[in-house]
Structure 1
């Protein structure tokens, strides 16, 4: 028997790395539409990156709590959007650390993640550091396909593509 035939069935999970950018919302829309059409799931990853600032424990603790509250607020807002778009309840994931490292760790830990969906920025600074790293140097060794959603698309164009 082949390896594919003996592998337990898992749901195809579309993973979206989220933040508060407009291109993130387009990537989310694409992932939600694709998950709906393929009977998959959506997972939203928000990574709280290490903070620079005061070394005082109390202040650092407050800043960390505020960052977590912001992450939860953004995730819940985006989860509502997924619900409206595709009637799906996404998995919400918050991690702390460097965005790229936490993303790679999550993909290795969760075999149901089958597709990574990223929004590509349209500003003069380029598509974004995560897109540049993953779609560039690392793309050949990545375990899952990467779908880049251009930030210049309209929601209707995203719907057509999905």
Structure 2
């Protein structure tokens, strides 16, 4: 094993590759961008030693907060739909590349919830997003690739949204 010294921390060595988990995070929301990012992240996770895949979904808070029972029921239904979607996506990922993803479902604004999740999660290897195929970066790419990118604790990987499945597979 080769030990590599960091320039400003010469007394510390980089931990061995095999001892490290490498988690790719991808947002699952049913969009074309999500599908492209998911395909890349899933394939990449199985090609990287210690690779893991975390599927992330944020449920928007209910709009009827003054009717607590209605809001609670809406939240419950949204959570049930999210679990069903995540189980379906996890099954498709396993069929596609053999990866066994874990998933996280939270309530809140997707951008802020994802940012909070990233800040609290260890061993992140990359946040994988995809741009919109029509040329618009999309809300998540726009949010995370702006000034916030300097504060991310993992690389931001942006997949062009116009790539075919074969092109994505060849890059992963």
TM-score by length of 2: 0.85
Higher Cα radius of gyration: 2
1:133 to 131, 137, 143: 143
Residue by residue over 1:32-85, the C-alpha shift from the partner in whole angstroms, topping out at 9 and shown as x without a partner, is 111111130100000112122362111111111111012112211110121012
Residues of 2 paired with 1:47 and 1:26: CA distance?
A: 18
Question: Could you tell me which residue of structure 2 aligns to residue 14 of structure 1?
Answer: 24
Higher relative contact order (CA 8 A, sep 6+): 1
SS of the equivalent of 1:138 reads helix
Question: Could you tell me which residue of structure 2 aligns to residue 108 of structure 1?
Answer: 119
Residues of 1 paired with 2:16 and 2:169: CA distance?
A: 35
1:120 aligns with 2:131: yes
Question: Could you tell me which residue of structure 2 aligns to residue 151 of structure 1?
Answer: 161
TM-score by length of 1: 0.90
RMSD (Å) for aligned C-alpha atoms = 2.0
1:99 aligns with 2:110: yes
CA shift for structure 1 position 8:
9.7
The runs of at least 4 consecutive aligned structure 1 residues that moved more than 4 Å come to none
> Which runs of no fewer than 5 residues in structure 1 stay unpaired?
none
Residues of 2 paired with 1:123 and 1:57: CA distance?
A: 40
1:77 to 74, 78, 88: 88
SS of the equivalent of 2:19 reads coil
1:68 aligns with 2:79: yes
> Which runs of no fewer than 5 residues in structure 2 stay unpaired?
1-10
Query: Against the structure 1 CA distance between its residues 57 and 26, is the aligned structure 2 distance closer, same or farther, given a 3 Å change threshold?
Result: same
How many residues are treated as equivalent by the alignment?
A: 161
Instruction: Indicate conservation of the 8 Å contact 2:52/2:101, yes or no.
Output: yes
1:45 aligns with 2:56: yes
